[in-house]
Structure 1
Amino acid sequence: MKNNYADMIKEISTKQLLFHLYFTQLILLTISLILGIILFDSLSEFLNLFQWNDYRIFLIGGVAGLAVVLLDLILMRILPASYYDDGGLNERIFRNRNIIHIAFIAAVVAFCEEVLFRGIIQTHVGLVFSSIIFAIVHYRYLFNWFLFVNIIVLSFFIGYLFLLTGNLWVTIFMHFIIDFLLGILIRNRNNKQEGMFNE
């Protein structure tokens, strides 16, 4: 099944991949809107989850995001490459993007996913359920035990920070930092490999 998924990723054009990425985020945002209307008593109750004037956005969200990326970089050097094999999806999405586009993708994904999984689901049914759903939604990681464990641990960590701060901007910023820096890493690694082949 993992091979079928990897083959499917190879057959889809980059333009189609980006379309599916943005379309998936639009679906998550739509689900958030519908569930938000049903589950929250008022708009202000929901908006209270977003606190701009909070130093913890950078102190906790930023530091935690950097720590996760640093740990990932260390593990990438220690562990076999197969442990980080997601079927090539992240590679295809980020390898030829410019930095602004990588930042935009990271921002869209961070915002849409955190609003749904932390802001809506975790707020109403708890950390455990939201973390499991978050991991399952990242379907491609189900084929790789290490990535699946990784995404569950990460989801619990992000969820815990939301419990700690009660501020969605903290987890959105953390999520953004992780996706943005790993996207840059993939882009730079690809450019370096292409440079080696061109020499």
Structure 2
Amino acid sequence: MKKYDFKKWKQVKFQKVDMSKLDDRTLLLNVYLTQALTLLLGAVLLWIQGRTVWGVLALPSGWTPWLWGAALAVVVLAADGVLSRFVPEDVTDDGGINDMLFRTRPVWHIVLLSFVVAVCEEVLFRGAVQHWMGPYWTSILFAVVHVRYLKHWLMTGIVFSISYGLGYVAVRTGTLWTPIAAHFIIDLVMGLIIRYRRAE
């Protein structure tokens, strides 16, 4: 049996990514690869639970679930608008990732990115993880995964609150499409704000 030299692992060093050195292609590849892995992990967890991605993505009947999702998105966006007036910009800084991702992106691509992220993350967190852990612990995990916000307690609290809201509407309506709709609208509007604010 081959022996591994674990001393080599001590030489591995993690460095903060310099956003000025990160090109657009690498960033997009990273986003899509991360989302694919998120969806795959969600599918595996659902399979372990005896459920499927297609099962949790069954379309709901009626407009109520979609209205719940839109209402949550409006509340989150309104709260963000209020916070942005009173909270210094450095507190909400994510290291420039959102700015780089959306500032020059065509609108169709912002729509696509928002949809992909909403579906993949909600399948994992609200579809699979929340089934085991409930909305509270799922929201803690969701906040931790959004590591770029962890340096600011306020942003970590906001991400946790949004996640808890997404978990609540999923339970309330009984469909994953409610948090997907809310997540999509929030990301889309924020992306468009960054896109057109920078364009001005």
TM-score by length of 2: 0.87
Shift, 1:100, TM fit: 0.7
Structure 1 distance, partners of 2:163, 2:125, is 9
Corresponding position of 1:86: 94
Shift, 1:51, TM fit: 3.3
Corresponding position of 1:8: 18
Corresponding position of 2:46: 36
Shift, 1:49, TM fit: 5.7
Corresponding position of 1:26: 36
Q: Which amino acid aligns with 2:94?
A: D
Higher helix share: 1
1:142 has 2:150 as partner = yes
Structure 2 distance, partners of 1:15, 1:170, is 31
Corresponding position of 1:69: 77
Please give the root-mean-square deviation of Cα atoms over the aligned residues, in Å.
1.7
> What SS does the aligned partner of 1:103 have?
helix
Shift, 1:13, TM fit: 0.8
> What SS does the aligned partner of 1:50 have?
coil
Q: Which amino acid aligns with 1:10?
A: S
Shift, 1:58, TM fit: 2.5
Aligned length: 186
Task: Kindly indicate whether the alpha-carbon contact (under 8 Å) linking 2:72 and 2:165 is maintained by their aligned counterparts in 1.
Answer: no
Corresponding position of 1:197: none
Shift, 1:48, TM fit: 5.2
Indicate the structure (1 or 2) with the bigger Cα radius of gyration: 2
Structure 2: tracts of 5 or more residues without a match: 1-14
Shift, 1:43, TM fit: 4.0
Structure 2 distance, partners of 1:50, 1:162, is 13
Instruction: Tell me whether 23-32 or 121-130 shows the greater mean CA deviation.
Output: 121-130
Percent identity of the aligned residues? 35
Query: Where do residues 30-179 of structure 1 align in structure 2 (5 Å cutoff)?
Result: 30-40=40-50, 42-43=51-52, 47=55, 50-179=58-187
Shift, 1:57, TM fit: 2.9
Structure 2 distance, partners of 1:26, 1:65, is 24
Q: Which amino acid aligns with 1:84?
A: T
Q: Which amino acid aligns with 2:49?
A: L
TM-score by length of 1: 0.88
Structure 2 distance, partners of 1:48, 1:15, is 32
Task: Kindly indicate whether the alpha-carbon contact (under 8 Å) linking 2:65 and 2:173 is maintained by their aligned counterparts in 1.
Answer: no
Corresponding position of 2:5: none
Of 180, 183, 199, which residue of structure 2 is paired with 1:191?
Answer: 199
Task: Kindly indicate whether the alpha-carbon contact (under 8 Å) linking 1:49 and 1:166 is maintained by their aligned counterparts in 2.
Answer: no
Structure 1: tracts of 5 or more residues without a match: 193-199
Q: Which amino acid aligns with 1:9?
A: M
> What SS does the aligned partner of 2:85 have?
helix
Shift, 1:55, TM fit: 1.2
